[in-house]
Amino acid sequence: MAATRGVKALKYLSGTLKECSPIHQEPGLAFIEFVRKGIPYRLEISYKGRGSYPEIRVAARLPHRGPGTLHILPQDLRASFLQLFGSQDLIVGNRDFDLKYVVQSNPRSLVQILFAADRRERVIRSIDRLADLGAPTIDLSFHTLILRARQNLTDVYGVMTLVETAEEILKDLALVPQESAASVEGVQIEEVRSSKTGECPVCGTFMEKDQVRCELCRTPHHSECWTYMGRCSTYACPGKRSVA
């Protein structure tokens, strides 16, 4: 029932959004693709069966190589996330936000820049409005921004909230210098310690071992990063199985 309502929301959006594809449906998956302000988006709903909540996923393809990797997720997912990625949980400078969310980035200075004093409260409000959407997560790679909600998100308003939040995050990230060593409000930008040819698309670090590839597009991931995403992180790739 929840999946049916979600598919109806996508059908409605496919007829109202500009530059939007018709809805594509296959067993367990429905999606639309559209362009907003020059950015390609893929909005999809996946479901495993009757009685299970669907996952809503918004993926935006970055117009150029991004400044690093970033993960923001609610504290109730903290244990599983930190078990996979280690102990890093960065402080953004707002006590309530820091109590509610786990934040990780590479380089660490990306968080300091994104949550700079002149826009911190606005960025926090944008992320906070996702709180009622069911364990939402925000994952930025060098090429894609992905927002996910894992519970009963089936109305058009909730779906568009994910899209609009993605837009706002991309707008803020456009302010972040990517290859400059200059400082912003006293924050020094660190180098991203990763290889452009052998970096994991999820965490941005070099892959030396424990590597898997998407069965469809063959993009390599750390095995733990694949587990966290639950599928391939490449924009528009539907791959959900990995191979060694």
Average pLDDT score over the chain: 81
Intervals of CATH 3.30.40 along the chain: 193-244
In words, the CATH class of domain 193-244 is alpha beta
| Span 28-40, average pLDDT | 91
Q: Under 8 Å CB-to-CB from 64, ≥6 apart: which residues?
A: 178
What pLDDT, in 10s, does the model give residues 210-231? Answer: 789 999 999 999 888 898 888 9
Question: Would you say the pTM of this structure is higher than 0.85?
Answer: no
Residue with tokens 């390609």: 40
Q: Is 70 exceeded by the pLDDT of residue 95?
A: yes
Q: What would the pLDDT profile of 142-195 be if each residue is shown by its tens digit?
A: 889 999 987 655 578 878 889 999 998 988 876 333 433 333 343 333 333 333
The one-letter code for the residue type at 177 is: P
Residue 206: how many CB atoms within 10 A of its CB?
14
CA 158 to chain centroid:
16
In this structure, are residues 196 and 176 in contact, taking their beta carbons and an 8 Å threshold?
Answer: no
Amino acid 192: pLDDT: 35
Tokens matching residue 106: 């590479």
